Amino acid sequence: MSMNMVGKIDERVKVRHVLISVSDKTGLELLVPRLLEINPEVRIFSTGGTFSRLAQILGSTAGQCLTQVSDYTGQPETQGGLVKTLDFKIYLGLLTETYNQAHQDDLNRTRAVPIDMVVVNLYPFRTTIAQAGVTVEQARGNIDIGGPCMIRAAAKNFIRVASVVDPHDYERIVNELDARDGCTSLSLRYELACKAFEHTAEYDRAIADHLACQAIQVVKQCYNAV
């Protein structure tokens, strides 16, 4: 397998397409209107409860800028929201490189768009396991799959994509966009990537530590394994 070696990037990247899928919806009422104020042509993709919250925030203007991920990918969410964002068009949009013609050909072939910013935070695994009497199944159900995948893909492609995992960063990010004509800088994207990888590492560590502490007999009893 040959590896792409990128030798040319844009220091500033215009934010035109944003994917938002969050468990903690704090601050969306600040972030989303400011994104659209800075660039009225921003297109936002979202899922499930986040989509509903964004539609609420945007009101009558939602139809002009907000798209369900399932409408974009052509694949409906599975029962219980088990699979929502694990789709080729999503990851092509996250990982594509600006000056790679093969990537641009793939975007055109699939009618995908490059995603310039991902705003994702994860299922509340730590909060769940901190509850008294939590079961193995409750813990398992709060292991996020799509979220970490999107965060890692966006963070890997910091040369073009901003990976946003902390609502406390929203104000600083939109202030930079406002000051830079709707663009992110390489320094901001790199800083956010470092924070994103730390976020997913801590999340996986919490899962690994919790599962390692569960006796197999407790696991069997939880599922009435035969």
Structural class in CATH, domain 12-223: alpha beta
Query: Whole-structure pTM over 0.85, yes or no?
Result: yes
- pLDDT of 39 over the 90 cut: yes
- Least Cα distance to 165 among 222, 119, 98, 107 occurs for 119
pLDDT at position 2, please? 65
pLDDT at 123: 78
Residue 177's pLDDT is: 98
> Phi first, then psi: what are they for 12, rounded to 5°?
-110, 140
Domain regions of the chain by residue span = 12-223
DSSP 8-state class, residue 131: S
DSSP string, 73-95: HS-PPPGGGSSSS--HHHHHHHH
Q: What is the DSSP letter of 12?
A: E
Which residues fall within 8 angstroms of residue 146, CB to CB, at 6 or more apart? 21, 83, 84, 85, 86
For residue 76, pLDDT beyond 90: no
Band of pLDDT at residue 75, cut at 50, 70 and 90: confident
Instruction: Tell me the pLDDT tens digit for each residue of 95-113.
Output: 999 888 888 998 999 999 9
